Structures are given as C-alpha cells and as structure tokens.
Amino acid sequence: MVRIAIDAMGGDHAPIAVVRGAEAASAEGAGELVLVGDEGKIGPLLTRRSGIEIVHAPSVVEMKESPSTALRRKRDSSISKAFSLLKEGDVQAVVSAGNSGAALAFAIFTLGRIPGVERPAILTIHPNVKGTKSILLDAGGTVDCRPSHLVQFAIMGSVFARHVLGVEAPRVGILSNGEEETKGNELTRETHALLLNAGLNYTGYVEGTDLYNGMADVVVTDGFVGNVVLKVSEGMAEAIVGILKEKIARSTRAKIGYKLMAGVFKTLFRMVDYSEYGGAPLVGVDGVCVICHGKSNERAIKNAIMQAKGFVGKNVNGHIKDAMAVSLARNKES
Amino acid sequence: MVRIAIDAMGGDHAPIAVVRGAEAASAEGAGELVLVGDEGKIGPLLTRRSGIEIVHAPSVVEMKESPSTALRRKRDSSISKAFSLLKEGDVQAVVSAGNSGAALAFAIFTLGRIPGVERPAILTIHPNVKGTKSILLDAGGTVDCRPSHLVQFAIMGSVFARHVLGVEAPRVGILSNGEEETKGNELTRETHALLLNAGLNYTGYVEGTDLYNGMADVVVTDGFVGNVVLKVSEGMAEAIVGILKEKIARSTRAKIGYKLMAGVFKTLFRMVDYSEYGGAPLVGVDGVCVICHGKSNERAIKNAIMQAKGFVGKNVNGHIKDAMAVSLARNKES
C-alpha cells in the first residue's frame, strides 16, 4: 500500500482545499494519506477518517518566506516534517502546494540528491497538438544552470518519458532560439556538445513551438527560461479562456453555440487547466515529491496525490537512480 | 507621401505573397511602394502598376544562409538593396519576410545604430486579456544581452508604447521567474538596479503570465528568452486552434455550435494569428524596419506594410532618437 505525506498547510487555499483534495484522493484509492500540519486546524475539517491520518507540525512556511530563512528557522514546519517522514521511510512520497522554493530547499536538505545529479529540476508535462505529451524541465528548480545540469535533466526527463508516458525512445531537444546549430547561447552550445555523446535519443535544438507540436518528448532548458515558458503558457491559456468566456457571455447566439460545443470546450479547458495535471514532480532529489501550484484547488491536490501514487508505483525514482548510475559509469570511462 | 521598400524575394511564399500583399496595401492607401528583387520574376506577377514600382536586385539571401556570409557575399541582394534605398533617403521604411538574421545584419551595417543604442531589438506586440496590448522586446535580435542593452530596450519599448499604443506612462517590467526581488538571474538583477534610475515607469520583475494579463505595457528580456517566449506563444495558440478545429470537424452538433459562435471565434483567431499583426519592428537601428514571419502570407505582408506606414507617420524613429539622447545625457550627468 502506497503511503503519501501531504503538506496540509501549503498553498493559497490551505488547509481546506488540501484536506478536501486528500479526501477525494482517498476515496479514489490513493492509498494511505498523511496530512502534515496544525492538528487543531486540520482535525475539525476532516470528514473522512478512514485511510487518512494527521501528523502534527506546529509551524508553517509562508508563501513569500525566503527558502533559506525557512530552512534555518522552520524545521518544525509542515513541509519540513513531510520530508522527514519520507526520509524515515514512513511514506513513499510528498505532495505540497506551499512555497515551492522552500519545498525544494527542504527536499534537497532532507532527502539529498541522487548520485550523479548536481541540481534538481521541476518537470512539467504539456499536452500537444498530436495528442501526446511533451516534458519540459527545468521549470524553475535551478535558475542558473551549467551544461552538465541540463544533461542530467535530459537523462531524468527521458526516464520519465519512458516509464510514465510510455515513450520507448524519447526524443530529447534543447530549447533554443532556432533549430540551426548556429543559434543558441553559450549554455545551449556546450550542452549540445555533451548531449551528442550522452547515450540519449538527442535530436538537437528545438524551438518554443516544438513544445506544443509534438516534435520532442523531452525539452531541456535552465530553470529561469523553463519557468518563464511555463508561466507564458499559463498566461496565454488563461487569456484565451478568459476572452472566450467574456465574448460568449455577451451574446445569446454564442451561448447556444457554446452549449452545442460543450464537449469540445470541455476537452480544451481540461487541456489548459493546470489542476488537471495536479502538480509537477521535483526530480533529482532522492524521493518522490510533487510540487503543486500555489493556487491549487481541491481537484489539483487530488490529482497531484494520484500522480504521486503513480510515480511510486512505477518506481520512477529507482529508474532515475539506475540511469544516473549508468551515466556516471559512462563519464568515468570517457 | 510615405514611400516603403519591400523585400520582394524574402519569405517562404515569395515573391507571389509579397507582390499580392503589396498590391493589397497599395489599394488601402499605403503610399508609394517599391518592390525590391528580381525584376524578371516580380514584373510578370504584378497586376497593379499604379503606386508600385520595381527596383531590380539580382540575388537573394536564402532562408538558411548565415547572416555573416550573406553580409559579405550578397551586397546585391534584395534585402541589401532595400536598406540602401532607406539609407539614401529614397524610402522611409523597409519591410522584409526574408532571413531575419540577414535583415538584422544588413540593417545594422547599412543604417547603423541610433546613438546610445548598443544593440537592436525585435519588438513584438501581444494582445492581452484586458483588451490592451503588451510589448515584448527583445524577441530575437540580440541573443546575448548585457544589462545596459535591456535598459535601452526598455527606453525604446516605452517610446513605442507611448507613440504607437497611446499609453501615457508605460509600465515597464523585467521578465523573470518570479516577482520577488530575490528571484531572477544575474542579468535581471543588474538590469533591475539600472532600471530603478532610468527615468522610466519601471515596476519591477514581471512573470510570464503578465505578458497576457495586461499588468505590464513593456516587458524586457534578452533575445534568447524573448524568442523562446514568442515561439511558445505561437506554438500554444496553434495547438489550441488546431485542437478546436479537429474536435469541431468530428461532430455535427459542434459544427452548428461553431457557426453560432462564429463571431467569438473570429475574434479569438484574429488575436492569435500572427498575420493580423503583420510584422515586428526592428528597433535601435537608424530607420524604420519591419521584420515579418518567414511564412508570411499576403495578409501578413499587407498588414506589415500598413504598420510600417504607421511607424513612419508617428515618427517613432525620431522619438526613439530623442529618448536615447536624453538617456545619454542622463548617464553623462550621473
């Protein structure tokens, strides 16, 4: 039985959205769930006790708090305690919608990195026009990256594409400002040279459009660019949905049309709705950790918990460890 | 009367799409148009002679050709000749859908930079959910940027927002991976320090979402990130439109709904259609230059020519020169 710790105090709508999300996940068979946080606040909200327990943590890392300060002063926080449970082997995964910088800091501090991984990355999954999915990493874990970091991201992303998305030989691309080798910046050029000999299905530079046209399974970039890409995508999707809704509300004719197209819109809105995906796995630390959007609602939390269960079931962390061990051996040989 | 040179040989659909676009612009009152390129190829295509003339240029810069090679070997190309006409004062603007790197190289070489501008930038205009528009620069002109370049982009973008979009005190933001000052990378942090004292309405870091929510009028970033942002936006818009069209085609019910919502979709598709905007001005070189998407159709070319006419009419280049002179004086004082 999978056992998952959830930071009950993390996120804009915590603890209520987290508690409700956990209850929904529990009802869907997520396994044993551990809500970590202020018992006095969580307890009264809980309507379903079966399969859900509470582990008390007296403090909370605020959303705007500096990760380094939190790491020094909030060892008794819900996020810190959740990772301790994972480190001790009491749970197999952590889910948090709290301060993502702090989650990252506590994850590294508590779990440590997988041998061969210099920096962890946040991995996001994007639906594309081909009906498949593309992986982007790093979406914000490591802002300043060296070429070796991007190579490690490519290895971890490939493992993910293979074991989670079921892609046999994931095509890996470096995000650049053009496909030609003459394009790119210092980081992409040095990474390009390394990826040619990394034993991956590396296909060269890809452009921003390739994230949504299905031309690449794994797109690597530094955490600064990746975060910008993620948020531009989010902003554009919100703008399109917002404009559609506003225009529809203004016309009776359009309202009727909307009803007839309900199925189409449902597909579209689900595609661009972050809560559909739940969260983004933090890869490279030694343990399964899913980081959720700060504004996560009940549905997002539920899906993140189901995701975490899936990653544990597919032994993603073990496969990453194996792949990194192979990479380390390869680097020693060369 | 405005006179505009158009690189008739540039773009995936040249020369036919360019010739048709120029004819359409001419019919809309674009002024005097000069089609630059192979007379033997352009002449037979031209159905409208009034207001359109041809200036012969024997060679063409291919789309995949290296800009530096083109600059050395293709002095008799259509793009080179177009900029020469601008430099000589025969025309007031250049429009090209050709190799954008080569256009940039010839623009800098032929026109030179505006005093105070170290590097030119490609400026793109993005509609947002508030119904206003936000400016992004650099969308790919200068890949490796120093903080001073970004400050110059901010000044030029502000001039553009004021004189083209009619925003009195344009809010300027630096694109970053978070709003907090603790976020960002070396480039954003140094630029932040400079922009605090640049005499602009600088509002701090902005995130990717802010490009589409109307929170900033001018968003500055380096040409690598800007190009990725532009192409991610393009890719996502294409994916959303593609998925909508595919789902609609599969259902009679949805097809009827689509017809009832025709007005709404028209607005949406126009918003995300690059050809609606025509092209992107290259700012910082001493002359009006509009760079179009390589896949530009007749409509995109027409709109780019009308855009160029507007930039000339509003004396955008003159206003940028004035603003840069003020900035140079300010820097000397401090």
Are the C-beta atoms of B174 and A228 separated by less than 8 Å?
A: no
Q: Which two tokens stand for residue A287?
A: 């343990």
* pLDDT for position B160: 97
**β-sheet bridge partners, residue A53:** A34
Instruction: Spell out which residues of chain A touch residue B258, defining contact as CB-CB under 8 Å.
Output: 257, 261
- Residue B113's pLDDT band, with cuts at 50, 70 and 90, is very high
Instruction: Spell out which residues of chain A touch residue B208, defining contact as CB-CB under 8 Å.
Output: 227-235
Instruction: Compare CB distances from A209 to B144, B234, B248 and report the shortest one's residue.
Output: B234
Q: Which residue of A has its CA nearest to B239?
A: A129
Mean pLDDT of chain B: 94
What number of other Cβ atoms are within 10 A of residue A160's Cβ?
A: 25
DSSP string, B10-48: -STTTTHHHHHHHHHHHHTT--EEEEEE-HHHHGGG---
* pLDDT for position A247: 86
A186 in B contact zone (CB under 8 Å): yes
Distance, in Å, from the CA atom of B258 to the CA atom of B330, rounded to the nearest integer, reads 56
Q: Rounded mean pLDDT of A210-234?
A: 95
Tell me: pLDDT of A275 over 80: no
The candidate with the shortest Cα–Cα distance to A23, out of A55, A43, A44, A50, is A50
- What pLDDT digit, counting tens, does each position of B162-208 carry? 999 999 999 999 999 998 888 999 999 999 999 999 999 999 999 99
- What pLDDT digit, counting tens, does each position of A280-320 carry? 999 999 999 999 999 999 999 999 999 999 999 999 999 99
* pLDDT for position B103: 96
B3-7 and A218-220 as β-strands: parallel, antiparallel, unpaired?
unpaired
Distance, in Å, from the CA atom of B37 to the CA atom of B22, rounded to the nearest integer, reads 13
**Percentage, residues of chain A above pLDDT 70:** 99
Tell me: pLDDT of A243 over 90: no
**Percentage, residues of chain B above pLDDT 90:** 79
- Residue B55's pLDDT band, with cuts at 50, 70 and 90, is very high
**Residue B57 DSSP one-character state:** -
* pLDDT for position B266: 84
Distance, in Å, from the CA atom of B223 to the CA atom of A176, rounded to the nearest integer, reads 11
Lowest-pLDDT range, A227-231, A232-236, A287-291, B173-177? Answer: A232-236
Q: Rounded mean pLDDT of A77-92?
A: 97
Tell me the shortest Cα–Cα distance from B100 to chain A, in angstroms. Answer: 11
Sign of CA dihedral B175, B178, B179, B184: negative
Taking CA atoms, A106 is separated from A99, A103, B176, in Å, by 11, 5, 23
Q: Which two tokens stand for residue B97?
A: 């859908």
Distance, in Å, from the CA atom of A29 to the CA atom of A4, rounded to the nearest integer, reads 12
Q: What is the pTM of this model?
A: 0.94
Tell me: pLDDT of B274 over 80: no
* pLDDT for position B267: 80
Lowest-pLDDT range, A214-218, A245-249, B136-140, B311-315? Answer: A245-249
Mean pLDDT of chain A: 94
Q: Rounded mean pLDDT of A220-230?
A: 96
55-94 in B: which are within 8 Å (CB) of A?
64, 66
Mark yes or no for CB contact B140/A177 under 8 Å. yes
* pLDDT for position A38: 97
A148 in B contact zone (CB under 8 Å): no
